[in-house]
Structure 1
Amino acid sequence: MPKPLTLPIALGLAALALVPQTASAQAADWIKSVARTIASKQTYPRSAQMRGEEGTAKVKVFISAAGAVERTELVSPSGSSTLDREALSLPSRAGQLPPPPGGATTVTLPITWKLL
């Protein structure tokens, strides 16, 4: 049978949980959350599928302090105009994003389409 934690150890573990994350750790967690939210709305345009188009577009997303997508810019094209248009519209379809930890910001995300 496992021994229960003694009070000093339990208090020490609780104190560790209260230590705030560094700004870079918070930013990395936030970027992952934004990427997951946007990826959840990704679709493969039927016309691109039919033509066998694949690629990765890099999109810069401008995000307000409240988490709203203000605009997008294509940083690196995918090689397909259809996939590029989809990449630019995708962040807005994701709706409200988690508010950035440091106020309004931009994030550049790769968006990939690959036929299976």
Structure 2
Amino acid sequence: MWKDTPQYLGELLIWEIEDYLIAQSQRPERAKVAFIRLADAWGAASIAAELDNGGSFYSAAKRADALGMTLPGDMFGTVTREQMPHVFTAVPGTTFPPMPDGDGWVIVRLVAFES
């Protein structure tokens, strides 16, 4: 199984590039995203640093929750171009820096565009 990993990762990268190219030509209006909702700027900076150092989005979200740093809310959702236009200029797999969100902060990861 492991000997095929590089080929699989190459195919995954091609799919992400294809999604990006489709998004640029067809201009989808919706995207699937993952969220890490954090209570304060310090927690957001801490989790962002972990992600910048190559940490897994899911592991970072799980750690933040275990440490009581998160706010309630769904981890996955759909956003529109009107809500988050910057998401639509990225490649699926992109994780964005923390942004203020209501009473806390949110880190968003683009999962895929919806056609």
TM-score scaled by length of structure 1: 0.26
Which has the bigger relative contact order, CA under 8 A and spacing at least 6? Answer: 2
Question: Which protein has the larger Cα radius of gyration, Structure 1 or Structure 2?
Answer: 1
In terms of fraction of residues, the more helix-rich structure is 2
